[in-house]
Structure 1
Amino acid sequence: MRLTATPRTTALRAAALVASAAMVVVGVQTGSASASGDRDSGGLPLTLSASQRTAAIQEAQSGASATAAKIGLSGKEKLIARDVVKDADGTVHTRYERTYDGLPVLGGDLIVHEAKAGRSVTKANDATIALPSTDASLAPAAAKKSALSAAADQKTAKADGQAPRKVVWAAQGKPVLAYETVVTGVQKDGTPSELHVITDAASGKKLYQYEAIETGTGTSTYSGTVPLTTTKSGSQYQLNDGARGGHKTYDLNQGTSGTGSLFTNSTDTWGGGRQTAGVDAHYGAAVTWDFYKNVFGRNGIRNDGKAAYSRVHYGNSYVNAFWSDSCFCMTYGDGQNNKNPLTALDVAAHEMSHGVTAATAKLVYSGESGGLNEATSDIFGTAVEFYANNKTDVGDYLIGEKINIYGDGKPLRYMDKPSKDGKSKDSWYSGIGGVDVHYSSGPANHFFYLLSEGSGKKTINGVDYDSPTADGSKVTGIGRDKAQKIWYKALTTQFTSNTNYAKARTGTLNAAASLYGNNSAEYKAVAAAWSAINVK
């Protein structure tokens, strides 16, 4: 396969698809509410340049002490501004992290909404922080030992625990003094591990753990002849996209660390051999960037104009792909026997969408928030696949349908009826937080399908769907474009680190009210779609 590249040519306007961050395992209302009509402009975010965004964050930080007092935080609590989103109607959403007596508060993130109607706050946890002391009775060494034990239970190879840091654990129940220990190593399938373990600083009890490396799985990729943006350096061309924040694509040459070698070529015609995986990854990154910018006005994964980077040919016969926020990069293995690199467009986009989640809501990759994290990547992966309008890979509501992970042509997941994969859940139930995040994502994927297309039988781009509802109701869709805007607005202005399904319902309703009005057909459709998957 030969892939043609043209220097300084932007990647195909509508050219590639976005997929999911973990492909598979083998109430506050903002803005004014219109009673009717499409308010699509007022609630959408303004596009800020990198310098404007930086200035907005600095301004928020300069007033953080006053804001903390206004929203009722104690004198020991301080706010650290992390992001600012400004809507066209004048509403400003400022996302903060929190400290208590100088210690990071895990699960203490919050969003302050400033609208014409007044100020409101969305908190990850409403519990009051009032610790009797920040002196720990448990030694750091004991917390590290507990974390290494947790890694051993996960069968993490080459486990190495970093020095524990003292924190306030506020993500669940009553806030307590704790230690956070990060254990690095290698997971059973060869994926790097960054296991975060939270230990009670008084009792030594393990309170929580989650894996920070977000994974995906697949076996093949094909996207046809595609345009690329490259850079010429001397006599050599490089897979360096100067039009999109300087996104670079590297060949790890079967290594598992570092960046490897930047792909170069004597001509600007790329493809064949080891280059093909690099071209697919580079192309996938470009079209994903274009999707977020052209549809949502987002300037890169962190909205700061700076690119992540891609690494291909990771490990030996590694059948996976993953996003790591610590390196701010996507990494792809070559599949069984190093024959089928996992650089499919949907995989690339899914992984980058994990980065967007990490830069916004920071949905913890465990429990219900982990399922919503996964679903977010599936949702935007699907949205970008339709955006791409690629004849080789037409838009559909099937996840990973091109990678043929099972060898029988079946996709990894189905959005119209998630349980068709044999493991995912169609609807919410009280124990869903204990299900693997790749399958607890099912209800949110199902919600997005219902909101976009509605229930029942239909054929879209040659694919047949038949979407049921938990309560037997009939849902009428509002279209994918509106559905994706509602999810994105909720992700960036409503969701916090521990958002669960109930809070996701509230967040998307708030988003729909801001975009279209709280008596609009869109608002009512959001409520109906959640009810249809048993979130009421």
Structure 2
Amino acid sequence: MRLTTKKHRISALAATAALVAAGVTAGTAGAAPDKDGFDKGAMPVSLSPSDRTELVKSADTDAAKARTARVLGLGEKQGLEVKDVVKNRDGSTHTRYARTFDGLPVLGGDLIVHRNATGEKTGVTKAVEAEIKVASTDAPKSQKPSLSAAQADAKGSKAPRKVIWAADGKPTLAWEKVLGGKQKDGTPNELHVVTDAKTGEKLYEWQAVHNGTGSSMYAGEVEIGTEGSGGSFTMTDSARGGHETQDADNGNQVFTDTDDTWGDGTPADPQTAAVDAHYGAALTWDYYKNVHGRDGIRGDGEGATSRVHYGEAYQNAFWQDSCFCMTYGDGANNEHPLTSIDVAAHEMTHGVTSATAGLVYQGESGGLNEATSDIFAAAVEFHAQNPEDPGDYHVGEKIDIRGDGSPLRYMAQPSKDGSSLDYWSEDAANVDVHYSSGIGNHFFYLLAEGSGEKTINGVTYNSPTHDDSTVEGIGIDKAAAIWFKALTEEMTSTTDYADARRATVAAATALYGADSTEVSTVEAAWSGVNVQ
């Protein structure tokens, strides 16, 4: 069913997918660049969920993985597990693998194998270059971490598992445990802690619940996808993988209605925030599918879940892989649901990142993870062309999270929020990921719009550069295409800002050619944020 709501504001966008399977090619292999130098053959082909499943399945057979391991020269104890396959219109593929060693998961050992249309290997991108091996997988029982009774009982906790920790470049036998429960502000906790299996020393930790903020009731009257008839309707979008919107204040029950007209545009009606989240999820789904050919967050056509009314006056929103869902609080005084378009797109993009590059949510890779969500939040907002919430390069500008009407983040000059980084420095890895993301956000703005003062959709920006250079932007559509290709085909779990520069240059080169304006602008924009 389709329906119209009354005035309300919104914040939630979903991911979308593609269409092509093993042996199925859309477009022309080896297609020549068009008159603008754009190589359509380097764009991802759209795969139906079943075609994508077949493509992954064919790459994930024991024989196929054994051949790949031989070609890569992996040791006999190393194994490969296919995580994803991207197929381009020219027939080339980019297969993303997780690795094992002697049956143990290798954290930070992921790699991408690039092949041409004939299946010949053309390159490999690795999260770490070090050889994956350890002298022994035996570990002293005395160093096995434990969970306290309270931790063990906490929702989301997981008992320690033995792994190989390789993300820092030195493969080490380790234990990984997950601490559940809740964080201080009420956000669910999924803290991964990795310790040396022989010494007990903590090697790394990261939070698997990806936070973001935003507010809602901004998009005016909208249509949303529902199911039902005869006085019984549910907020289930069958056209977008069965995406459901649920009420966290009512046991995560799917929202229901008798007349298929939802909300009244005010936070007093519990349905209003649900409409916002559901609408945002649909916009995000449509953006990824129609622009990048990705059918759902994982590319498998399956819809995620939106949950609204979480907690009491909770001023945040977050994505969780464990429930394949995004969750929104109601904001200050329960009057500002965090369900605006850009916030929704931000949260669902965390799911896309998890399903592709898997950027670890800590250090520079964590900053890139957050930046990716902000980047596609802007891209979705511009693509939506909603007159009540036109596209801009602010994050959370509708939610008034600070209480003074200012945005949460500024992509053109991130430091305007008082905490985010405009430029890369050696300390970037030690900064909270929501603030180190400023480097990636600033790069993207410069790439899309350029430096200096300008007004876009009624908003005035004045973006500086680290080297006082002038950057001429290439437009948000080209910038987003480059970032998406880099994310899905080049970035790995350990990508830092220097490698993000390499990845985006590679993506721009594939799309527009090595001598193109687009490549030189990518390089100039990175130099503009001090990433060399």
Tell me how far 1:33 sits from its aligned partner.
10
Separation in 2, partners of 1:173, 1:138: 25
Equivalence for 1:394: 390
3-state DSSP class of the match of 2:79? strand
- Counterpart of 2:100 in structure 1 is 99
Query: Which residue of 1 is the match for residue 23 of structure 2?
Result: none
Q: Secondary structure at the match of 1:109?
A: strand
CA distance in 2, matches of 1:242, 1:20: 14
The percent identity for this pair of structures is 58
Partner of 2:252: 260
Amino acid at match of 1:77: Q
Q: 1:92-491 residue pairs with structure 2 within 5 A?
A: 92-115=93-116, 118-139=121-142, 142-144=144-146, 161-232=157-228, 235-253=231-249, 260-272=252-264, 273-491=269-487
2-structure distance, mates of 1:189, 1:335: 12
Task: Identify the residue that residue 22 of structure 2 maps to in structure 1.
Answer: none
For residue 48 of structure 1, what is the aligned residue in structure 2? 47
Call closer, same or farther: CA 1:203–1:481 in 2, change over 3 Å.
same
| Aligned partners of 1:19 and 1:378 also within 8 Å | no
Displacement, 1:489?
0.4
- Aligned equivalents of 2:519, 2:229: Cα separation in 1: 52
> 1:330 offset after TM fit, Å?
0.8
| C-alpha displacement of 1:16 | 7.9
For residues 169 and 60 of structure 2, what CA distance do their matches in structure 1 show?
28
- 493-502 or 131-140, which deviates more: 131-140
What displacement does 1:441 show? Answer: 0.3
- Aligned residue for 2:527, secondary structure, equals helix
Identify the residue that residue 24 of structure 2 maps to in structure 1. Answer: none
- 1:90 partner letter: G
**Contact in 1 for aligned 2:101/2:133 (Cα 8 Å):** no
Q: Secondary structure at the match of 1:362?
A: coil
Residues 237-271 of structure 1: per-residue CA shift (max 9 Å, x gap): 11010100001111122x6xxx5211111101111
Q: Can you list the C-alpha shifts for 1:27-65, whole angstroms capped at 9, x where unaligned?
A: xxxx99979942241110000111111111111112011
Describe how 1:487-526 pairs up with structure 2 within 5 A.
Answer: 487-526=483-522
* Secondary structure, counterpart of 1:478 in structure 2: coil
Q: Is the 8 A contact 1:124 1:499 kept in 2?
A: yes
Encode CA deviations 1:248-299: one digit per residue, 9 max, x unaligned: 111122x6xxx52111111011113111111111111111100111110110
Instruction: State the superposition RMSD in angstroms.
Output: 2.5
Decide whether the 8 Å contact of 1:323 with 1:352 is kept in 2: yes
Kindly provide the amino acid, as one letter, of the partner of residue 248 in structure 2. L
Cα distance, 1:19 vs structure 2:
7.0
Cα gap change, 1:10 to 1:361, in 2 (>3 Å): farther
CA contact (8 A) 1:36 1:517 kept: no
Displacement of 1:318 after TM fit? 1.3
Provide the secondary structure at the position in 1 that maps to 2:349: helix
Indicate the SS of the match to 1:108.
strand
Structure 2 alignment gaps of length 5 or more: 16-29
**Separation in structure 2 between the aligned mates of residue 159 and residue 252 of structure 1, nearest angstrom:** 16
Aligned residue identity for 1:65? A
After TM superposition, the runs of 4+ consecutive aligned structure 1 residues lying more than 4 A away are 8-11, 15-21, 31-37, 156-161
CA shift in 2, pair 1:52/1:447, >3 Å: same
1:27 counterpart residue number: none
Aligned to 1:24: none
Q: What is the 5 A alignment of 1:5-24?
A: 7-8=1-2
Work out whether residues 231 and 240 of structure 1, in 8 Å CA contact, stay in contact via their aligned partners in 2: yes
Unaligned runs of 5+ in 1: 1-6, 22-30
After the TM superposition, which of the residue ranges 31-40 and 482-491 deviates more from structure 2? 31-40
Is the 1:164–1:179 contact (alpha carbons within 8 Å) kept by the matching residues of 2? yes
- Report the count of equivalent residues: 507
SS in 2 for 1:386: helix
